[in-house]
């Protein structure tokens, strides 16, 4: 059966209107050699055959429960309480669409209100929206927000910000003819710099991509002295034990929420979060859920400050984020509420303790740390050969480890190693044995 709404007469009428003789003629500008390539697609399968094929493919994956993981650089393997999936994947949440009608969406609206409250509490800032696509686009949205607020068009961004975040920001800024200037690292820390008066924002990540804890207070002061906003790219789990963005004067906090309640899922989906001071509230992209009262005085929830969204303002909207990753954000809200402040601190501290043990093991093997000063739960080390090769060889020895550091950082061959609360002494011993075998080879 052909699923097309157009009859032969419809097609002929369209072709006559365009002025061509056939549908194929519409594609004459595409070289014939690539217009209809042969595609090697195997014969179709019945339902049983498809299920067997998918199970065979799945069997090729090696579970993180079997192989210890020391992967970091933006995403990490943390424990996810069973209650997270049990509540998140109830049909009322999984099937929910944008809660434009509060009279039928109170459950989802309240869940997002609680999520926003938790992000505001973690960052110390006044207002959070109900999530963004991911950390990378979140950084871009934060920069655009700063440009709108300051009416300036230059952004300074530390080389310590995740490379993928910087690439995404550059793409966004090219489209609006704005300028992105990198702040090169001094070792693995962002140096203090003079901020020119045309700079809209200074963006720094803490801990940075190499794992170092930055001097955020001094950097924020330098930004504010020039009238620029200070954007902190943060690991939300780290905020249980390090200074929150409000403490060092950040105007905007942004990042990726994968580490608080979301599984790795082969790299996604995750979601982005953003929080701002009250002065910037009306510049926030995306949605904000607010608490209110109905006509009978009962507490209720509704989307608020909607005039900035594309479905009302179109091209004049502050952002074209309409859908978001609310389901992923809901997972974080459930995770945070199940762990509580003390549980979150325990996870962060346990991760830091195991990272310290990991460092001792690796320096004992003669590996030199790239990461300078203090780090939390991940760090970078210099390697004798390409990190991608070492990562592949470690996997063959039963260990997931070593995120490559791009050569643009100037450290030669280097890789990032991370520890979490799930890391055990036995895992570190297994990595040590694997590294000895790989490095000696």
Whole-Å CA distances, 257 to 76, 216, 429: 11, 21, 30
Specify whether 268 is located in the same domain as 206: yes
The verdict on 398 and 431 lying in the same domain is: yes
pLDDT at 218 (0 to 100): 96
Among 178, 154, 131, 156, smallest CA distance to 319 is for 131
* pLDDT, position 64: 62
Q: Both 203 and 298 in a single domain? A: yes
Alpha-carbon gap, residue 237 to 205, rounded angstroms: 14
pLDDT on residue 252? 98
CA distance linking residue 278 with residue 271, whole number of Å: 23
Distance from C-alpha of 352 to C-alpha of 373, rounded to nearest angstrom:
14
What pLDDT does 123 receive?
98
Number of domains in the chain: 2
Residue 193 and residue 157 in one domain:
yes
Residues 296 and 415 in one domain: no
CA–chain centroid gap for 39, Å, is 35
Among 335, 364, 398, the domain-final residue is: 335
Owning domain of residue 397: 69-78+340-440
Strand, coil or helix: what is 345? helix
Are residue 180 and residue 299 in the same domain, yes or no? yes
Q: Given its phi and psi angles, is residue 97 left (phi above 0), alpha (psi -120 to 50 degrees) or beta?
A: beta
Domain final residue pick, 292, 316, 335: 335
Q: How far apart are CA 18 and CA 9, in angstroms?
A: 14
Domain check: are 207 and 176 in the same one?
yes
31 is a domain residue? no
Cα separation, 281 vs 305, whole angstroms: 9
Q: Are strands 299-304 and 378-382 parallel, antiparallel or unpaired?
A: unpaired
Q: Is 232 helix (H, G, I), strand (E, B) or coil?
A: strand
pLDDT at 223: 97
pLDDT tens, the chain, 441 aa long: 566 788 889 999 999 999 999 998 999 899 988 888 888 888 899 999 999 999 998 888 766 667 899 999 989 999 999 999 999 999 888 876 777 788 888 999 999 999 999 999 999 999 999 999 999 999 999 999 999 999 999 999 999 999 999 999 999 999 899 999 999 999 999 998 789 999 999 999 999 999 999 999 999 999 999 999 999 999 999 999 999 999 999 999 999 999 999 998 877 788 999 999 999 999 998 889 999 998 899 999 998 886 555 566 666 777 767 667 889 999 999 999 999 999 999 999 999 999 999 999 999 999 999 998 899 999 999 999 999 999 999 999 999 999 999 999 999 999 999 999 999 999 999 999 999 999 998
Considering the domain architecture, whether residues 227 and 284 belong to the same structural domain is answered as yes
Asked whether residue 326 falls in the same domain as residue 372, the answer is no
At 100-144, the pLDDT tens digits run 788 888 999 999 999 999 999 999 999 999 999 999 999 999 999
pTM, two decimals, is 0.87
Q: What pLDDT is attached to residue 310?
A: 55
For residue 158, which phi and psi values (nearest 5 degrees)? -65, 145
Q: Domain with 191 in it: what CATH number?
A: 3.40.640.10
| Torsion of the alpha carbons at 294, 126, 235 and 183, rounded to the nearest 10 | 140
DSSP run (H or E) holding 203: strand 199-206
Question: Of 335, 365, 395, at which residue does a domain stop?
Answer: 335
Place of tokens 């090696």: 62
Sheet containing strand 154-158, edge to edge, reads 127-128, 272-276, 252-256, 229-234, 199-206, 154-158, 179-183
Question: In this structure, are residues 301 and 118 in contact, taking their beta carbons and an 8 Å threshold?
Answer: no
Tell whether 322 and 218 lie within a shared domain: yes
| pLDDT at residue number 201 | 98
CATH number at residue 367: 3.90.1150.10
Q: 239 in a domain, yes or no?
A: yes
Residue 5's pLDDT is 82
Specify the 3-state DSSP secondary structure of 185. coil
Same domain as 331, residue 190: yes
Residue 329's pLDDT is 95
CA 281 to chain centroid: 22
357, 395: one domain: yes
Cα separations (Å) of 271 from 63, 66, 156, 251, 257? 23, 26, 24, 21, 6
């Amino acid at each position: 059966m052909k699923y097309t709404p157009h009859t032969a007469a419809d097609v002929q009428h369209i072709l006559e209107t365009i002025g061509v003789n056939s549908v194929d003629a519409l594609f004459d500008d595409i070289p014939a050699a690539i217009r209809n390539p042969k595609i090697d697609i195997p014969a179709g399968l019945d339902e049983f055959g498809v299920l067997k094929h998918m199970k065979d493919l799945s069997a090729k994956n090696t579970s993180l429960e079997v192989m210890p993981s020391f992967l970091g650089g933006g995403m990490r393997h943390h424990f996810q309480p069973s209650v997270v999936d049990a509540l998140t994947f109830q049909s009322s949440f999984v099937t929910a669409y944008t809660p434009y009608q509060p009279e039928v969406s109170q459950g989802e609206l309240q869940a997002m209100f609680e999520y926003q409250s938790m992000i505001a509490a973690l960052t110390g800032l006044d207002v959070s929206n109900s999530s963004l696509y991911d950390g990378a686009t979140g950084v871009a949205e934060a920069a655009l927000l700063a440009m709108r607020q300051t009416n300036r068009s230059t952004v300074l961004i530390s080389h310590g910000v995740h490379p993928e975040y910087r690439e995404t920001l550059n793409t966004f800024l090219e489209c609006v003819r704005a300028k992105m200037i990198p702040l090169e690292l001094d070792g693995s820390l962002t140096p203090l710099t003079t901020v020119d008066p045309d700079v809209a924002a200074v963006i720094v990540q803490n801990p940075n991509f190499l794992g170092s804890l930055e001097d955020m207070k001094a950097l924020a002061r330098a930004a504010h002295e020039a009238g620029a906003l200070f954007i902190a790219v943060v690991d939300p789990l780290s905020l249980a034990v390090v200074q929150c963005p409000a403490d060092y004067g950040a105007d905007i906090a942004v990042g990726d929420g994968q580490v608080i309640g979301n599984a790795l899922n082969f790299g996604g989906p995750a979601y982005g979060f953003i929080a701002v001071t009250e002065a910037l509230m009306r510049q926030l992209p995306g949605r904000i859920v607010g608490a209110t009262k109905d006509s009978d005085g009962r507490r209720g929830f509704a989307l608020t400050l909607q005039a900035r969204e594309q479905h009302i303002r179109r091209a004049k909207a502050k952002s074209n984020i309409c859908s978001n990753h609310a389901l992923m954000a809901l997972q974080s809200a459930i995770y945070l509420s199940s762990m509580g402040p003390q549980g979150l601190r325990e996870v962060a501290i346990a991760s830091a303790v195991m990272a310290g043990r990991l460092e001792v093991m690796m320096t004992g093997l003669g590996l030199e740390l790239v990461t300078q000063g203090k780090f939390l739960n991940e760090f970078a080390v210099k390697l004798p050969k390409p990190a991608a090769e070492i990562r592949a060889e470690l996997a063959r020895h039963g260990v997931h480890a070593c995120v490559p550091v791009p050569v643009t950082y100037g450290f030669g061959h280097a890789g990032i190693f991370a520890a979490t609360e799930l890391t055990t002494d036995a895992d570190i011993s297994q990595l040590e044995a694997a590294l000895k075998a790989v490095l000696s080879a």
